[in-house]
Chain A
Amino acid sequence: MPVWNAFSDMEAMRREMERRFSDAWPGHGRAPRVAFLPGRGARQYPLVNVSEDEQNVYVEALAPGVEPKSLDLSVMQGALTIKGEKPGLAQVSAEAYHRNERAAGRFVRTVELPLEVDAGRVSADYQNGLLLVTLPKAESARPRQVPITVR
């Protein structure tokens, strides 16, 4: 006797929704990250791109106009935390604005790292509003060539 399973129905519905949404944005495979724009403060800031090569993991943050002195980076338990402040425009009264689209203020974001890094050798570079953090991979996380003995 077939038993009605509410969970499997819900799961099927979720998949259907996902499929429909991904059809709506062809070529991307998934809906944009910010689907229903929340207030600026509720969005993740800064946005980051994570990449890697054999030696390092790179975290690049989109942070134009951040005061370099306010930047504070820390690596703990496989996560990188970026703190800083984007100063607002000083001495501009609210009535003087025609447009105000750039957000400002203090921010903190923690990015989970995909693998173990050597926290002692992390370096960072801020240029043209982009923050590039270079995290050398820990010895155990590096790819190792396995020698093959041919007999």
Chain B
Amino acid sequence: MAERTVPSTQEDRVPGRREETREHERYITPPVDIFETKDGLTVVADLPGVEQKGLDVRVADGILTLQGRTAHVAPGTPIDREYELLHFYRQFELPDEVDAEKIAAELKHGVLTLRLPKKEKAKPRKIEVSVR
């Protein structure tokens, strides 16, 4: 499961080199764990402050996009700030054997767990050998 990344040379924002129609939005890349099980892949992402309605998980053209919007407002006036809650955004390229129709997502305590099952035909199949 390779992550689709843009080469850093393209990301360099040299003024006047490229026209932009939208303001460059600031976002956080959430840390993720990805591991493989017998039935498929599991993606676990830390998305603190994101509620169910602010979460957007979609698959298009074999690319999984995670987007989380925080509606969280900190109380009072800040004294000391170590973090800022911005929107979360991350994309992954999915392998062909993932069945996009059957992806299941669960959000609990700010942690998103995605289960990406493999297509039936991609699962290993044991072939019985008969000995005569």
Contact = CB atoms under 8 A, between A and B. Distances in A.
B59 to A, nearest CB: 17
Contacts of A49: 74, 78, 80-83
Contacts of B79: 50-52, 57, 114
A96 B33 contact: no
Interface string B106-117: 000111000000
B76 A128 contact: no
A53 interface: yes
B110 A130 contact: yes
A89 B78 CA distance: 34
Contacts of A33: 82
Interface in B1-23: 1
Contacts of B82: 33, 44, 47-49
A51 B74 CA distance: 8
Nearest to B110: A129
Nearest to B3: A99
Interface string A129-145: 11010100000000000
Given A128-B49, A129-B110, A51 B76 contact: yes
Contacts, number: 107
Given A101-B31, A130-B72, A130-B110, A47 B83 contact: yes
B130 interface: no
A128 B51 contact: yes
Contact of A129 (B46, B75, B78): B46
Interface stretch (A7-15, A16-24, A61-69): A61-69
A48 B48 CA distance: 13
Contact of B109 (A68, A98, A103, A134): A68
Interface in A43-87: 44, 47-53, 56-58, 60, 62-66, 68
A33 B36 CA distance: 34
Contact of A102 (B32, B75, B76): B32
16 contacts: A47-B82, A50-B80, A51-B78, A51-B79, A56-B76, A62-B85, A63-B48, A64-B46, A64-B111, A97-B34, A98-B1, A100-B35, A101-B32, A128-B110, A129-B110, A130-B72
Interface of A: 33, 44, 47-53, 56-58, 60, 62-66, 68, 89, 92, 96-103, 114, 126, 128-130, 132, 134
Given A57-B79, A64-B110, 13 more contacts: A48-B80, A50-B78, A53-B75, A58-B74, A62-B48, A64-B48, A64-B109, A89-B33, A96-B36, A99-B33, A126-B109, A128-B49, A129-B49
